[in-house]
Amino acid sequence: MCSFWNTEEWQKKSEAGKNNRKNDLCIHTGGSIGFDEHRDNMEKEEGKKVGYRKVFF
């Protein structure tokens, strides 16, 4: 692995990856809330049980 990682080609890819991770456009903030939490929120809004199919759609 070390001999592969030390190649010039890999070093270029590694540097590009580092720069991409520093880019403001590439910030990962964790995404949306979980499926079960969506279901709980929908049940509170509608005042009744909500099926998984409805939550999915």
pLDDT averaged per 10 residues, the chain (length 57): 89 89 64 81 94 85
Eight-class DSSP state of 1:
-
**Whole-number pLDDT of residue 30:** 56
Side-chain half-sphere of 31: how many Cα atoms within 13 Å?
4
**Whole-number pLDDT of residue 29:** 57
Structure tokens at 42: 């929908």
**Whole-number pLDDT of residue 13:** 92
**Whole-number pLDDT of residue 9:** 93
User: Where do we find the tokens 């049980």?
Assistant: 49
Long-range contacts for 7-11 (Cβ within 8 Å, ≥24 apart)?
A: none
